[in-house]
C-alpha cells in the first residue's frame, strides 16, 4: 500500500489520464508527487530517463505516458506510434527496476485484443487472433509493455502490474480532429456546427460499431485502487462493462451540445473494430466499480470544453 508521503511518479501527468491520476491522488491526500513535462524530460531518451530515476528514486510509478490518437492518426503515423511507445515504456520500466521502485502500474489499451475477439473480452484473449490493422503499431507496442512487466516480475521479482483501459474520455482530452478519438471529435464537431449554424455533421463509417466508454476520473480511481490492491503478472481490464453503438453515442452528444441539424454518414471512411466490450469481472470482484454514467460524463466534459482553450481558440 502507498503511504500518503510515498514518492509517486506520474509519467504523462499533463495528458488526460495522467492529470486525472494526479487529481485523484491529491484528493486522497498523497503529498509527494513527482512529474516532469515532456520538455523537461524526453521519455524516449534512455539516458535522460535513467538520470531522472537515479536522482528521484520514486517508490511508485504510474506509467500513463504514451503517444495516442484515433484511427486517422494511427493509420497515418504507425512508425511514430510503435517507436515512441516502445521507447517510453522500455526506458521507464527498466529504470524503475534498476533504481528500486516498489511498484509500477503500466497502462495499455483495449486495442491490444484481436479484432474479432469474443465479446465481452476476457484478459486471456490476448494474442488469440489478428489485431485491427488500423492501430496495429500502437497495439503491438502496448502488448510489449505488458510482456515487459510480466518478465521483469518473473526474472527480477518486480511488483510491476498492467491494466488495460477501455475507450476513455474526460477533462484534458485531445480535441484536434486530425488526431483525436471519436468522443472528443464528436463534441468538437457538434459544437462548431452549432456555432456556425450548419445543417449537418458528418460521422465516419456506418455508425454501427459498438464501443465502451469510461470517464477518465473513474479510470484514475481504478488505477490508484489497483496500485494498492492488485499484484499479479496477468493484466487486468478496466472498464464499465457497458457499450453503445457509435450512432447512439453521436445522438447523445448532439443532444448534450444542443445541435439541431442532421447526422450524415461518410461510408468511405473505415468503421474499425466491430465491437470492443471488456469483461471487467476481475476488477469488479476486487471491489471496484465505475461511478459516472455515460451521459453525465459527456455533460461534464462539454462543460469543461466550453471553458477551455480548445473551444475558445477553435484549436
| Known binding-site residue numbers for NADP(+) | 12-18, 107-110, 142, 165-168, 181
- State whether the Cα torsion 143-243-118-124 is positive or negative: positive
N-term to C-term CA, the chain: 41
**Beta-strand pair 60-63/103-107:** parallel
Binding-site annotation, residues for substrate: 189, 204, 211, 271
State the catalytic residue, choosing from 9, 97, 138, 305. Answer: 138
138 is catalytic: yes
Query: What are the residue numbers of the active site?
Result: 138
Amino acid at each position: 500500500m502507498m503511504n500518503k508521503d510515498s514518492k509517486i511518479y506520474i509519467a504523462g501527468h499533463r495528458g488526460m489520464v495522467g492529470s486525472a491520476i494526479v487529481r485523484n491522488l491529491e484528493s486522497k491526500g498523497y503529498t509527494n508527487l513527482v512529474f516532469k513535462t515532456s520538455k523537461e524530460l524526453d521519455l524516449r531518451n534512455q539516458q535522460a530517463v535513467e538520470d531522472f530515476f537515479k536522482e528521484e528514486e520514486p517508490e511508485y510509478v504510474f506509467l500513463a505516458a504514451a503517444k495516442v490518437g484515433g484511427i486517422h492518426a494511427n493509420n497515418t503515423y504507425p512508425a511514430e506510434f510503435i517507436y515512441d511507445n516502445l521507447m517510453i515504456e522500455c526506458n521507464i520500466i527498466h529504470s524503475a527496476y534498476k533504481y528500486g521502485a516498489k511498484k509500477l502500474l503500466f497502462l495499455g489499451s483495449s486495442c491490444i485484443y484481436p479484432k474479432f475477439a469474443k465479446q465481452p473480452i476476457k484478459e486471456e484473449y490476448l494474442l488469440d487472433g489478428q489485431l485491427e490493422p488500423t492501430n496495429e503499431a500502437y497495439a503491438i507496442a502496448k502488448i510489449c509493455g505488458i510482456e515487459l512487466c510480466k518478465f521483469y516480475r518473473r526474472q527480477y521479482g518486480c511488483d510491476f502490474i498492467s491494466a488495460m483501459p477501455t475507450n476513455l474520455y474526460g477533462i484534458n482530452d485531445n480535441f484536434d480532429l486530425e488526431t483525436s478519438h471519436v468522443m472528443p471529435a464528436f463534441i468538437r464537431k457538434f459544437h462548431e456546427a452549432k456555432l456556425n449554424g450548419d445543417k449537418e455533421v458528418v460521422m465516419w463509417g456506418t455508425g454501427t460499431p459498438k464501443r465502451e466508454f469510461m470517464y477518465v476520473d473513474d479510470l484514475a480511481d481504478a488505477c490508484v485502487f489497483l496500485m494498492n490492491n492488485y499484484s499479479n503478472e496477468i493484466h487486468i481490464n478496466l472498464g464499465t462493462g457497458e457499450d453503445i453503438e457509435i450512432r447512439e453515442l453521436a445522438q447523445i452528444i448532439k443532444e448534450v451540445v444542443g445541435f439541431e441539424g442532421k447526422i450524415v454518414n461518410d461510408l468511405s471512411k473505415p468503421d474499425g473494430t466491430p465491437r470492443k466490450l471488456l469483461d471487467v469481472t476481475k476488477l469488479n470482484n476486487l471491489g471496484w466499480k465505475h461511478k459516472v454514467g455515460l451521459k453525465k460524463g459527456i455533460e461534464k466534459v462539454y462543460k469543461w470544453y466550453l471553458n477551455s482553450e480548445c473551444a475558445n481558440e477553435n484549436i
